[in-house]
Amino acid sequence: MTLTEKLRERISRAFYSHGLLCASYPIPIILFTGLCILACCYPLLKLPLPGTGPVEYSTPVKDYFPPSPDPVSQQGDLGERPDWYVGAPVAYIQQIFVKATVSPWQKNFLAVDVFRSPLSRVFQLVEEIRNHALRDSSGVKSLEEVCLQVTDLLPGLKKLRNLLPEHGCLLLSPGNFWQNDRERFNADPDIIKTIHQHEPKTLQTSATLKDLLFGLPGKYSGVNLYNRKRVVSYTVTLGLQRYDSRFLSSLRSRLKLLHPSPNCTLREENIVHVHFKEEIGIAELIPLVTTYIILFAYIYFSTRKIDMVKSKWGLALAAVVTVLSSLLMSVGLCTLFGLTPTLNGGEIFPYLVVVIGLENVLVLTKSVVSTPVDLEVKLRIAQGLSNESWSIMKNMATELGIILIGYFTLVPAIQEFCLFAVVGLVSDFFLQMFFFTTVLSIDIRRMELADLNKRLPAEACLPPAKAVSRSQRYERQPALRPATPHTITLQPSSFRNLRLPKRLRVIYFFARTRLAQRLIMAGTVIWIGILVYTDPAGLRTYLTSQLLENQTQQREQKSGLDSLSRLQANQHSWAQGPEGKGNGQTELGTEAEVTWGAEDEEIWRKLSFRHWPSLFSYYNITLAKRYISILPAIPVTLYLNPQEALEVRHPQEANRYHPFLASSGAKLGAAAQPDQASPKLQGHRDVTLYKVAALGLASGIILVLLLFCLYKVFCPKNYGQNGLAHSRRKRGDLPCDDYGYSPPETEIVPLVLRGHLMDIECLASDGMLLVSCCLVGQIRVWDAQTGDCLTVIPKPRLRRDSSGVFDYQESWDHSPDGKNGLDDSFESSHQLKRMLGPPQPPLFCDQPDLTSLIDTNFSEQVKVPESETRLRAVGGRQKEAGYDFSSLVGKVYEEHSTSNCISFTGLPAPHGQPGSRSLGCGNEEGGCSSRRRSLGDESFTAFDKSSPLPSWGGDLESSVWSLDLQGNLIVAGRSNGKLEVWDAIEGTLRSSNEEGQSGITALVFLNNRIVAARLNGSLDFFSLETHTSFNHLQFRGAPSRSSIPSSPVFSSSDIIMCQLTHTVSCAHQKPITALKAAAGRLVTGSQDHTLRVFRLEDSCCLFTLQGHSGAITAVYMDQTMVLASGGQDGAICLWDVLTGSKVSHMYAHRGDVTSLTCTASCVISSGLDDVISIWDRSSGIKLYSIQQEMGCGASLGVISDNLLVTGGQGCVSFWDIGYGDLLQTVYLGKSNESQPARQILVLENAAIVCNFGSELSLVYVPSVLEKLD
């Protein structure tokens, strides 16, 4: 074994055990990693935030000399000196800070007087500065020699041409507004307008012209009409090319001499050097943006390869987090060890990411997901890690090698980059091993759990395999039957993706998370906060004043009585207010004093940091990576006497402005303390505030209106009200497509089954076959997959000459398959019928189809009327299939049999003649009945004997009230109490039982057992047997994964006997209306307000459940032994069938509960009030309800745990049960628009059959089919 192999094995083993560790303790390891990251990033807090703000450095004025241009020759305190402080600055800035006031102030002065005369003095001052010259031994030195000479303005700044100096000294003062011409100033009628004419209208971001010329922020200048202090401040800004200390000091002393500022305490010791960083321009941004775009493309293409995991996004995020935090860690670690990053982080960052790369992460993921799925998660992770260990280590070593080579280029920038990259690589490896692996293990575990959940029910319910012993002639492909309807697994998300348009999903997301409301709320709070803070009378002023107070107090302590006296003087001057007023119109106003405080120190700091760059940029001088030196300002105090102020006043101003504070003077006087007076004085400014508020309100209203419109557009009906509100799903009489979108036409195409002549009353299906029965008693068998009509019972060739109905039927059946051209054939068949039909008594012309309904067995009629009256009361409203039919028949009975029976008997018998029957069939039946007789286990009732046509006559005379289908056998219960077993494929009668005389209202056909519930409340248990023995029972669908024992298949050659095993003669006092069997139990619901639970095997009654105060109308029971029942009282009860106890009781509907079904988590009921309600199964709390269209209330079906189907006017709608969302509406052809879907049957292959009059529609839900496969 070579060294490499040894190493390889060792590495692989180490990775294996590491993988086991990570997968075993995910949470502690993730916490540990998080702590590591935080610890390593901690030093980053010390780093300055990146930005382009200027950097300052102060040097004392004394002994200042410009730094030498050569950085090497710098001596002394190199440590403190920033590395940009080399060479001469771009310019020295000397500001002359002027504070001027009119004193004493007279009451009748105007507001403009506050600043007009002070501003007028600027011309004089500028002249003084300009003409200043230093005369000494070396000659005369004028300002022109030291100042910064500027040339042209940039061509784009033509409008500033007259305002900014050109071709001369850079000397800025407010006088520039008037071209430094006193005459212009005097002639200017509106100073404020002149000053503000160049202000940008929009948001002010950088320095404005006013700021530039005044040299201090606009609000400090005091040039406005509401200047309470009546002190005007401005500066004269001087740009100097060279630093000449003697010239400057002479200027300073001269200005101080001319305009002394006795109480000025401004410090003048320091020169501040301001260094400006490089500005990021578009030119620089483009490459930067390009690199970032490449970076994102790289990340996108990399993470796209992550596959086969539970959450792609989660893992992609984890991968990116891994890389980013490893970079942060590397910077943090480097900082910790004293390496400060000097590179531009934003620029090198994409390259670092690319160098470190996401490859390892992807390789890890791929390797782990490709391990065998059946292994334990731990082992999968460990195996995946160890598989890739060698390549990971090799790559890492290679990269480190390459980077180390880069380190030896000896270029400082590359070395720094390499250092970061190396540390980043190592920390990235650490994070991959600990963080990403753990995240991956969690993800894989989640995926396995999800898989398990998906697979478990089906596997657990897998029945023991049964071998197929013999081939069957009519063996059909076994249907894959899930255990219960609700185990059809359907990914809720994928289904929602499939159905819901993106737009709606976004909206629902917003609705669920209340995102918009929360954002607006947060925004409002922040806005209010900002308002409160920035309000002139608000928090900030308060805070500032507090701060100032503190500062003053501190300074007080420091400088002692000096400032104290000044403060007192200040207060005193204010306190003079009332006194001055007391003097009345004596023309002698208050004496004002200009104060110099801490806030005046270095006033340029309050300017925008873009102030100087923008000033110099006007002359095409960039300050990027260079610095300027700002010299201490020279304070100048100007006092103007009232005379002067009056002289400079412009004639128009006197008319325009009212005397300053004339109205508020009284208030001011009344206020003892000037501080208290100040808020009131700000009343003027509040006007602006009100304007802003009004504007804000207006825009808010517009915004609300806009949002409302958007809301209307996006959410036509069903969004916005409380999600669980009862009225949420109001549909009313609106057509189905009022929900905002119509589904693609091709998505679901209903398959229409046509062929029945009259309304279809009974439906049954076992997933493969579909059996329907119409009013005339014709039974049709359809292939549920293709919609082909397989069999018609009775067979069309069994036609009776006397009956027009069968003529018509035959002509009908000859039309190809009944699927095409319904209307045409329908028309023609009507004509045909009229032509071919024998003359009938006029009595029947209007109701020809009822002939077969009329039962001439009057012996039975005796019993029927008992229930008839009751039925009639309910009948019109009954929607349930079997029961509905019985009521309808009841009506027919009532109308016709009683009144017309006499005339009817006189007519030729409408029954079919046995002679026309096929011989084979007859023989078969004959054999059957003879066998029955010979076996002697059945006693024929008097009715049977008296009937002239034992088998055939019966089914024509009575109608089918209930149907059930299993395997290839159809069980039909007739109104005359006869139970028939038909072969679905051949259409032959296999067996019949006529022991009961009361109509069979409900049937259950389970395995070889048939339970029939009768109108008189009795319950018959039959068993089907072949004449030999049970070994003829074939079980079909051996590999079926269903939990229901496979249904037997009876070969057509067998003779089947339908044997009555047990009769519960008095199961209920009144007719049985509902019958359900599941989990070895049988539940009956009756009009006598009770439910009974029977055991299927021995027909033993286990419980009688009492709790309803009305007749039971709907019953549901599933494999979990939970029973739900609904009654005419509108109540739903949930029962535990194991114990017979009532679990919950809820009042659901106004009127009868018409249908009831359950999913794993909820109960769905519909009532006569046309409302479908969804209830929580465990708590009995109503989740929400759906308003149905009139007459469609009872039609509902559950396809899976998530999907509900309801019928509407000519359409069916699919709903998401969990959310109550309408997923799709499928229209079932135009001709049926007026027909309500009365009945919905969910087949086990998830097709839906709706009962539309004489037509059936098959609607496949494709996604469900896919899932089943």
Partner 1 sequence: MPRLESCTWSCSCAARGRHKTQPGDAATKAGEMLSSGSPSQVSAGHGARSPGGAGSTLNWSRHLVQRSVVLFVVGAFMALVLNLLQVQRNVTLFPEEVIATLFSSAWWVPPCCGTAAAVVGLLYPCIDSHLGEPHKFKREWASVMRCIAVFVGINHASAKLDFANNVQLSLTLAALSLGLWWTFDRSRSGLGLGITIAFVATLITQFLVYNGVYQYTSPDFLYIRSWLPCIFFSGGVTVGNIGRQLAMGIPEKPHND
- Rounded to a whole number of angstroms, the minimum distance from the CB of residue 293 to partner 1 is 5
Which is it for strands 168-169 and 171-172: parallel, antiparallel or unpaired? unpaired
Neighbours of 365 (CB within 10 A): 29
State in angstroms the smallest separation of the CB of 152 from partner 1.
14
Give the Cα separation of 1266 and 1269 in Å (integer): 5
Token readout for 1137 is 């069938």
Alpha-carbon gap, residue 731 to 696, rounded angstroms: 39
Give the C-alpha separation, 1158 to 1175, whole Å: 9
Least separation in angstroms between residue 535's CB and partner 1 is: 36
Q: Which is nearer to partner 1, 185 or 619 (CB)?
A: 619
Residue closer to partner 1, measured from CB, 52 or 898: 52
Give the span between the Cα atoms of 476 and 955, in whole angstroms. 28
Distance of alpha carbon 1153 from alpha carbon 1167, whole angstroms: 4
Q: How far is the CB of 161 from partner 1 (least distance, A)?
A: 18
User: Between 119 and 274, whose beta carbon lies closer to partner 1?
Assistant: 274
Q: Is 180 left (phi over 0), alpha (psi -120 to 50) or beta?
A: left
CB nearer to partner 1: give 497 or 622: 622
Sheet-wide strand order for 960-966: 960-966, 969-974, 979-983, 989-993
Q: Taking the complex as a whole, how short is the minimal distance between the CB of residue 206 and partner 1, in angstroms?
A: 12
List interacting residues with partner 1 (CB under 8 A).
154, 279, 281-284, 286-287, 290-291, 293-298, 300-302, 304-305, 347, 350-351, 354-355, 357-358, 402, 405-406, 409-411, 413-414, 613, 617, 620, 622, 624
β strands within 690-845, DSSP E:
751-753, 760-765, 769-774, 779-783, 789-793
> What's the closest the beta carbon of residue 409 comes to partner 1, in angstroms?
5
Q: Which is nearer to partner 1, 297 or 519 (CB)?
A: 297
Give start and end residues of each alpha helix (H) in 837-897.
858-861, 864-875, 881-892
Whose Cβ is closer to partner 1: residue 239's or residue 875's?
A: 239
| β-pair partners for 1156 | 1165
The least distance separating partner 1 from the CB of residue 490, rounded to whole angstroms, comes to 24
| Minimum separation from the CB atom of position 62 to partner 1 (A) | 35
Name the 3-class secondary structure at 1204: strand
DSSP 681: H
The nearest distance, CB 319 to partner 1, in angstroms, is 12
| Positions of E strands within 1177-1269 | 1182-1187, 1196-1198, 1203-1207, 1211-1216, 1221-1227, 1240-1242, 1247-1252, 1255-1260
Q: Which is nearer to partner 1, 23 or 353 (CB)?
A: 353
SS (H, E, C) 526-550: HHHHHHHHHCCCCHHHHHHHHHHHH
Shortest distance, position 84 Cβ to partner 1, whole Å: 15
For the CB of residue 316, give the shortest distance to partner 1 in the complex, in Å: 12
Q: Residue 625 or residue 712: which is nearer to partner 1 going by CB?
A: 625
C-alpha 863/C-alpha 858 separation (Å) is 9
Contact yes or no for 1092/1101 (Cβ under 8 A)? yes
Q: How far is the CB of 612 from partner 1 (least distance, A)?
A: 12
- Select 281 or 744, whichever has its Cβ closest to partner 1: 281
Q: How far is the CB of 156 from partner 1 (least distance, A)?
A: 8
Query: 104 preceded by cis ω (within 30°)?
Result: yes
Residue 1115 pairs with which residues in a beta bridge? Answer: 1125
How open is the CA angle 1094-1099-1100, to the nearest 5 degrees?
65
* Strands annotated E in 332-479: none
Looking at the Cβ atoms of 302 and 1159, the one nearer to partner 1 is 302
* Nearer Cβ to partner 1 (303/1046): 303
What are the phi and psi torsion angles at 558 (to 5°)? -75, -55
Question: What is the nearest approach in angstroms of partner 1 to the Cβ of residue 626?
Answer: 12
Nearer to partner 1, 42 or 300 (CB): 300
Contact 590, 642 (CB under 8 A): no
Q: Which residue in this structure is represented by tokens 């509960």?
A: 1153
By C-beta, is 340 or 409 nearer to partner 1? 409
User: Quick check: 247 and 140 in contact, CB under 8 A?
Assistant: no
Nearer to partner 1, 406 or 743 (CB): 406
What length does the chain have? 1269
- Closer residue to partner 1, CB minimum distance, 290 or 565: 290
The closest alpha carbon to 96, from 160, 174, 167, 161, belongs to 174
Least separation in angstroms between residue 297's CB and partner 1 is 3
Strands (E), 735-838: 751-753, 760-765, 769-774, 779-783, 789-793
